[in-house]
Structure 1
Amino acid sequence: MDIWHTLQTRLQKTWGYSDFRPLQREIIQCLLTGQDALILLPTGGGKSLCFQLPALLQQGLTLVISPLVALMENQVQELRDRQLPAASYHSETPKWLKKRTLHQLEKQTLRLLYLSPETLLSPTIWDYLIQPQIRINGLILDEAHCLVQWGETFRPAYRRLGTVRPALLHHKPPGTEIPIAAFTATADPQGKNTICRVLQLRKPRLFTQSPYRANLSLKVQNVWTPRGRKQRLFQFVQQQGNSSGLVYVRSRQDSETLSQWFTAQGYPTLSYHGGYEAKERREIEQQWLGGKVPVIVCTSAFGMGINKPDVRWVAHFSPPLLLTEYLQEVGRGGRDGKMSDTLTLVSDRTGWLNPEDQQRDRFFHNTLRQQYRQAQQIVQKLPPEGDLTQLEGIKDAAMALSLLHSAKLLVWLDPFHFQVKPGNVKQALDRSYQQQQEHYQQLRHYLRTSQCRWQFLMAAFGFQPDTAFRCGHCDNCSGAKRT
């Protein structure tokens, strides 16, 4: 009773909430008792509070592994605004702030430290964290779906995270426990298994809520020409008035050219992608968050974890590759619980007049196939056991190790040393590649389905709604035309 009184008091005093949302109390209790956990809550479901609050009530440090600088900075700034001991450490952190953070780490005055997987495993941070006197209460993997989406090719450091706990415990006093909790809004059954396996979770407690959001209206519309695609998007945006919204595109070039086109039509927007300098990205974010510019034309680099409650619409100029990406991105609408419209524009299946979607898909899949072929070649250069320093001269070695780990041909002995397992490399990688292809088919099936879109999404993410379920507000339920 005493601990719950303390939690309730801190919740009201620090965050201004009168009570916990569904499952928050149970998740916090799980983390306070040192159990591993996998938590799936819808976007805007209050995931951050679940690990921030217990971290602030304990002596010692909680490490938060986060995928994007913008996401880290957004959460840390909110904590600092509340006078809470949190910091982030990444490639864009100024030198003076890095020095101060390392000093705070050594003096153990921090309660939350936000890091990317790559920074966590960098010599500077790792050498601090393994010091026996540095008390670590837990590891939090925020936006854990990134391990599944990016871990094989784009961000291979994710695949090494499973050995972080045993490696840290090796340097800590006997009896030390470091629980791990993974948080995400989107993980299908296969994704959940991958997260648990890669992180080596120990009998994790599973907390899940259906991804269904009654305030999100989902619509997919076929477009026949590049000009028709632009016009339909512009018409949709005009219908939203001056309300805040996001337009997602698949490339940096599309982000810039589409934003310029909107501005030329008399509707000023800003583009956003990972190619901009950090300062410029922060300025764009602040203009949008502050309502100075209502619309951002962005790649997937924008929006994850950014807390803007009044996003009234989300549009996909072109569909993403994965169903998890789609659900993440549309989920950024309506965090305040009010209605939010979404629209995804899709080329017709033939692509005769508008081949953009098919061309992008082919480019991506050809690139992915080439990466698997590179992995087959690189494995021939690997010793049976080795460490990463031995591979510094081999291009794409880290990606190859990640693909081999995914294909169960490699084990990480610790975050820096690996062992190659015997087996038919070509056969195992071909099987892994085929599984990836099947995963990408999910989104295509969603775009073409005639059933209730929310019913499709719930089933895809492991929830089985009643067969008679209809959301009543997607295009398939409402009878809105798709062409």
Structure 2
Amino acid sequence: MNELNAIPTNTLRDTLKRIWGYPEFRQPQEEIIRSLLSQQDTLIIMPTGGGKSICFQLPALLQPGLTLVVSPLVALMENQVKELRDRHLAAALLHSELPTYQRKQILQQLEQQQLKLLYLSPETLFSAPVWKRLCQPQLQINSLILDEAHCLVQWGDTFRPAYRRLGTVRPALLQSKPKGTKIAIAAFTATADPTAQATIQQVLQLQQPQVFRQNPYRPNLHLKVQMVWTPRGRKQQLLKFIQTKPQQAGLVYVRTRRDSESLAAWLNQQVYLTAAYHAGLSPEERREIETDWLKGKIPFVICTSAFGMGINKPDVRWVIHFHAPLLLSEYVQEIGRAGRDGKPSIALTLVSEPTGWLNPEDKQRQEFFTQKLRSQYTKAQQLAKKLPKQGKVPRDAESVIALALLHSHGQIEWQDPFHYIIHQTSLRSPRQIYLGHQINEYLNTHSCRWQFLLGAFGFNTEFKCGHCDRCLK
């Protein structure tokens, strides 16, 4: 038995209490921690707010060496690293927005093995200065954590193609390490249907992983979909809802930066204190909005999907989707930010009436998304035919996307993070188009909404929640 896995439960609980202040683990936190301590590959699907971060942060502190945490968003990494540093723990993050002196400082800490946790994006992981240091034989790496692993599935083909190369990281690092070195891989997410789970396991090359799956059902979260007839009617419904929830903490999700800014400006005119939050803001601006919201200075934020991952606020009473999300997995992630304290909370989605005649916004968004995907696939297929059959991963973004799409269709193999071999170049229709239809089925379902969600994510659906708008009808 691995001696780290033999650590007594009391020791694990003492560490939990001393650093995080919690007296007990939630189910199945301790089992996940033991899986990571025994250096077993692990796939963890736990609802938003289920305490995923502790499951990899605690083992990182107890193990010798470095834990690498690959994470999708700078804001998410900043929040987690700030919390760890506030607890006087040796954690750092690397990203492209860092000033040069800070970057040098962190790379130096990495070389001198002064860090327990290093957070970075897939793109930063593959950057030459970082990769060179990670490959130094004396640098001990115990595990690679993929946080928010659903991003590999949602973004890996087109938006963030570096995700598709993560499976090459372990074998490439092990080549530079002493014989007998082990590096475990663990993937954490709140949402992954059976197909997404298979993709994560395949891309990361997980070896006989232990799988922990928790049902996303939350009895305190009341789901509702409301039809709006015109763009003006959509705004009025939002206003009407907010008026009934004075000073309650909430989130309003929109699809684009422009939407967040225009809606926040309109609500400010209606004398509501709010702010627009999106990935285009500076780290300082994002941090200020997050802090104001966490402290209750701003009751609600108008945000894109860039907001909320990893931010811990238990008393969010409502989440409104001003625009329906494009994917069901996004929806479950975002509604999961409400009611983490177990108290009654509402998740409301506003949708155009079925024909979209008076308010075509939703239909236009869906069509734009589908067309963009199709054109990306067409362009990638044309480009793939011109690429050398084997070689170094090119620098231009479109070629890298073409390689990622070929990989998602099983038509290339990575020799290491930087070299590929192409076997074929034919692409099928994008799976995301089917997933786009799935959200429409959910919005129009006549059965229990929780029943639909649980079925979509591969859980038993033989129940009715009794508190969604369909059950109440």
Distance in 2 between residues matched to 1:92 and 1:123, nearest whole Å: 16
> Which of 358, 361, 367 is the matching residue for 2:366?
361
Partners of 1:385 and 1:373 in 2: CA distance: 21
Alignment match of 2:467 (pick from 447, 458, 473): 473
Task: Output aligned runs, 1:197-236, within 5 Å.
Answer: 197-236=202-241
- Is 1:92 the counterpart of 2:86? The answer is no
Cα deviation, residue 3, structure 1: 3.0
Mapping of 1:33-52 within 5 angstroms? 33-52=38-57
1:340 corresponds, among 333, 342, 345, to 345
Please list the CA deviations of residues 109-128 of structure 1 after superposition, one character each: whole Å capped at 9, or x if unmatched: 11100010000111111000
Tell me which of 389, 392, 403 is aligned to 1:401. Answer: 403
- Which string of whole-angstrom CA distances, capped at 9 and with x for unpartnered residues, describes residues 21-44 of structure 1? 001111011111111010001111
- Contact persistence 2:69–2:144 (CA under 8 A): yes
Matches of 1:371 and 1:107, distance apart in 2: 43
1:449 aligns with 2:454: no
One-letter code of the match for 2:273?
P
Q: CA deviation at 1:95?
A: 2.5
Partner Cα distance (1:215, 1:233) in 2: 22
Q: Residue 149 of structure 1 is aligned with which of 126, 141, 154?
A: 154
CA displacement 1:174-229 (0-9 Å, x = unmatched)? 00110100000000001000000100100111001101011111100111111111
Q: Secondary structure at the match of 2:186?
A: strand
Residue 212 of structure 2 aligns to a residue whose secondary structure is: strand
Q: Residue 309 of structure 1 aligns with which residue? A: 314
The amino acid that maps onto 1:399 is I
Superposition deviation, residue 94 in structure 1: 2.6
C-alpha displacement of 1:349: 1.8
SS in structure 2 at match of 1:186: coil
More deviation in 378-387 or 132-141?
378-387
AA of the residue aligned to 2:279: G
> How far off is 1:364 after superposition?
1.2
The Cα shift of 1:395 comes to 5.4
> Secondary structure of 2:264's match?
helix
Q: Percent identity?
A: 62
Equivalent residues of 1:316, 1:343 under 8 A apart: yes
The one of 178, 187, 196 equivalent to 2:192 is: 187
- Show structure 1 runs of 4+ deviating over 3 A: none
- Look up the equivalent residue of 1:414 and give its one-letter code: D
1:416 corresponds to 2:431: no
Please give the alpha-carbon distance, in whole angstroms, between the structure 1 residues aligned to 2:166 and 2:363.
35
Assess if the C-alpha contact under 8 Å between 1:245 and 1:312 holds in 2: yes
| Aligned amino acid, residue 304 of structure 2 | T
- Listed as ranges, the gaps of 5+ residues in structure 2 are 1-5
Letter in 1 for 2:408: S
Deviation at 1:432, TM superposition (A): 4.0
8 Å contact from structure 2 (residues 366, 436) kept in 1: no
| Residue in 1 that maps onto 2:3 | none
Correspondence list, 1:238-277, <5 A: 238-277=243-282
Matched pairs, number:
468
Structure 1 Cα separation of the partners of residues 119 and 343 of structure 2: 31
What 5-or-longer segments of structure 1 have no aligned partner? none
SS at match of 1:108: coil
Amino acid of the residue matched to residue 343 of structure 1? L
* Structure 1 CA distance for aligned equivalents of residues 397 and 60 of structure 2: 40
Q: SS of the counterpart of 1:91?
A: coil
Q: Contact (CA 8 Å) 2:39, 2:182: kept in 1 or not?
A: yes
- After TM superposition, the structure 1 = structure 2 runs for residues 73-152 of structure 1, keeping only pairs within 5 Å, are 73-152=78-157
- Give 2:324's aligned residue: 319
**TM-score, with structure 1 as normaliser:** 0.95
| 1:161 aligned onto 2:166 | yes
Residue 31 of structure 2: which of 26, 33, 53 is its match? Answer: 26
Q: SS at the partner of 1:337?
A: coil
- Higher mean displacement: 22-31 or 270-279: 270-279
Q: Which amino acid aligns with 1:401?
A: L
Normalised by the size of structure 2, how large is the TM-score? 0.97
SS in 2 for 1:170: helix
CA 1:308–1:418 in structure 2 vs 1: closer, same or farther (change >3 Å)? same
Paired with 2:336 and 2:99, the residues of 1 have a C-alpha distance of 32
Task: Tell me by how many angstroms 1:49 deviates.
Answer: 0.4
**Aligned counterparts of 1:32 and 1:421: Cα–Cα separation in 2:** 38
The one-letter code sitting in structure 1 at the alignment partner of 2:286 is R
Q: Deviation string for 1:2-60 (max 9, x for gaps)? A: 53221111111111111100011110111111110100011110100000001100110
RMSD: 1.1
What SS does the aligned partner of 2:447 have?
coil
- Give the SS at the match of 1:218: strand
- The 2-side partners of 1:313 and 1:143 are apart by 22
**Contact 1:407/1:432 (<8 A) preserved:** no
Counterpart in the other structure of 1:70: 75
Distance in 1, matches of 2:437 and 2:208, equals 31
